[in-house]
Amino acid sequence: MARGGSRYGAGRPGWHVKAEHCLKLDVRDLARRKLLAGGSFIWSWTKTESGERSGSISIGSFVGSLRLNYTLDGTPMQQTVMLDRTGCNYGGTRPWFRCPRCQQRVGVLFLRSGFLCRHCGRVAYGSQADDAIGRGWRRQSKIERRLGANWARPKGMHHATHERLLDGIFDCEEHRDMALAGYMVQHGLINW
């Protein structure tokens, strides 16, 4: 079966909702706070930039399931999410959600038309939509987080590690420049 091309429905869709823009429930957060043991509680989300509340949900915890009560576009919704547990190598168990649509074991559910796994909700990560220049910026910012202000060597970092990280930043800049030059040549913006 052929893929891609210019026919109707061919190739990958041009845009997906990004995980960074969705409200999500992470079973690890709930387990870490011991909220899966039973009872009811309110879970709320806040915007990281402003600190204001962006949503909340009432959750009832039962043996093997969660009852979610929330409002979606002004409509009150009620949803039951089954829980699953797997054994760990050194004892204990690890909790998982069962996606309400596909019944796959997942750690995170995203709010779309109800709480669904990433695949059923057609949610993509921001890094999946990056082009070569975006990947370069993402890689460079990851390296810069390990360095001090103005790329200074933090206390305790080996000089060889600092040099390797600086070389990584210069490589990112070079790759971005090459990608930009290739784009400009391809679209006839410059003659090379």
Phi-psi region of 121 (alpha: psi -120 to 50; beta: other; left: phi over 0): alpha
Are 31 and 69 in the same domain? Answer: yes
Query: Judging by DSSP bridges, how do beta strands 53-62 and 39-46 pair with one another?
Result: antiparallel
179 found inside a domain: yes
Are 89 and 137 in the same domain? Answer: no
Range of the domain at 166: 130-186
pLDDT tens per residue across span 27-68: 999 999 999 988 999 999 888 778 888 888 999 999 899 999
Number of domains comprising the chain:
2
Q: Structure pTM?
A: 0.71
Are 135 and 100 in the same domain? Answer: no
pLDDT of 5 over the 90 cut: no
pLDDT for position 189: 83
Sequence-ordered alpha helix ranges (H) in 37-92: none
pLDDT for position 118: 94
Instruction: Go through the chain and tell me how many residues it has.
Output: 192
What's the token pair of residue 117? 């796994």
Which of 83, 109, 124 terminates a domain? The answer is 124
pLDDT tens per residue across span 118-167: 999 999 888 887 888 888 898 999 999 999 999 999 999 999 999 999 99
Alpha-carbon span 155 to 149, nearest angstrom: 12
